Structure 1
Amino acid sequence: MDFTGKTAFVTGAAKGIGRATAIGFAKNGANVVVSDISDLSETCGEIKKYTENFMAINFDVSDEAAARNAIAKAAEKFGKTDILINNAAVFPASDFASTSSEQWKKVIDVNILGTMYLSHAVLPSMIENGYGRIVNIGSVAGVYGLSWFVDYSMSKGAVISFTKALAKAVSDKGITVNCVSPGSVAPDGSDAMKDFSFVGRAATYDEIANVILFVASNEASYISGQNYLVDGCRKQM
């Protein structure tokens, strides 16, 4: 996959899947914009091994004005954003009966509205350029529903539905919109969560990132409105 000349904007890039995805874009020639509410210095240090064409922006995706400003900053530096990876999320585990309204509002604000704010902000330039790739990060929770992540499951189900609807809305404008929904993930793909999948281990960050990169590539130009479950043949629990 070659992303030379493309600019990829990755949220939630301070660690985990977001960091692995940002590094993958850098390795394959993209200009990379990384964002997070947390410190990005470690991610930037890794990206710098492959390219000098990157920038870091700290902001909260649930702040609509900040999200629009971040997209504008990326355009100022690189001219446009070709690829948007909506990865930022919060996922508190709790018994729903005792979950506070403040917690589920935060989940909605970050996971659902943050995804919508950034997608809405980047669409005008994608439409103008006749090209765009939006990849939203869902979860198996949004497909199966997890009893210890009720609010999170609801939010990721919304992200999957948003993906399908937006894909239809922009299908004639050179823009694809897809979702990648991971199952259990661990830095080393350890077997600590082996009981959750028939593969017998968790995915590595790179294994999830590789699917994201493919869906964002020109090789996937005819794929849109899809939700890719990357769960090691998950056991429904």
Structure 2
Amino acid sequence: MGIEKYKGRVALVTGASAGIGAAIVQALLKHGLTVVGMARRVEKVKELAIKDAPGKLHAIAGDVSDESSILTAFKWIKDNLGGVDILINNAGVFPNTSLTGGKTEDWKSILDVNVLGLSICTREAVQDMLSRGVEDSFIIHINRKFLQD
């Protein structure tokens, strides 16, 4: 059995406004999941709604580099949808930088989003899943590697 067993369940997708995140949101909607698309550009997430799809989309403005933004999103999900069953950590930043010539603010951004944000989202999802006794939930971390010349 595949994703069909999660029909009606809640999936949180970070970095949902474009690219891989947007494609995941739409695929989950087509399979009947309740999808919370979280991104800084919430208007782009709202555009992902699919008419007559069996799933329901909730677009939430959020920035995974900001812990309070993450906590607010998880609280909204718990209060309004009961909690997260699936977390897809897709948000990421990839400045064109190098170890020897990079700017410190670029590295801080990478750590804040790609490491700390992912970790905070994971912690909040796992605590929520455990507190509700959900045993068939899961988390996916999406990683991209960009090579420089």
* Common fold by TM > 0.5: yes
Name the aligned partner's letter for residue 135 of structure 1. Answer: I
Aligned residues: 143
Deviations 1:134-185, CA, capped at 9 Å, x for gaps: 00011345xxxx4x3xxxxxxxxxxxxxxxxxxxxxxxxxxxxxxxxxxxxx
Classify 1:133/1:41 alpha carbon distance in 2 versus 1 (closer, same or farther; 3 Å). same
Paired residues of 2:45 and 2:59 also in contact (CA < 8 A): no
- For the residue of structure 2 that corresponds to 1:77, the secondary structure is helix
Normalising by structure 1, report the TM-score: 0.56
Deviations 1:59-90, CA, capped at 9 Å, x for gaps: 11011121111011111221111000000000
Show structure 1 runs of 5+ residues with no match. 149-236
Residue 105 of structure 2: aligned partner: 102
- From 115, 138, 141, give the equivalent of 1:133: 138
Aligned residues with identical type, % of pairs: 32
- For the residue of structure 1 that corresponds to 2:100, the secondary structure is helix
Residue 7 of structure 1: aligned partner: 10
Q: Give the RMSD, CA atoms, in angstroms.
A: 1.8
The CA deviation at 1:98 is 1.9
Report matched runs for 1:83-122 at 5 Å.
Answer: 83-122=86-125
- For the residue of structure 2 that corresponds to 1:89, the secondary structure is coil
Paired residues of 2:38 and 2:62 also in contact (CA < 8 A): yes
| Structure-2 separation of matches of 1:122 and 1:69 | 13
Deviations 1:83-130, CA, capped at 9 Å, x for gaps: 000000000112432211111011000000000011111112211323
| Structure-2 separation of matches of 1:52 and 1:31 | 5
Residue 22 of structure 1: aligned partner: 25
Show structure 2 runs of 5+ residues with no match. none
Paired residues of 2:35 and 2:55 also in contact (CA < 8 A): no
Larger Rg: 1
The CA deviation at 1:51 is 4.6
1:58 aligns with 2:61: yes
Report matched runs for 1:175-186 at 5 Å.
Answer: none
The CA deviation at 1:52 is 6.5
Name the aligned partner's letter for residue 66 of structure 1. Answer: S
1:76 aligns with 2:79: yes
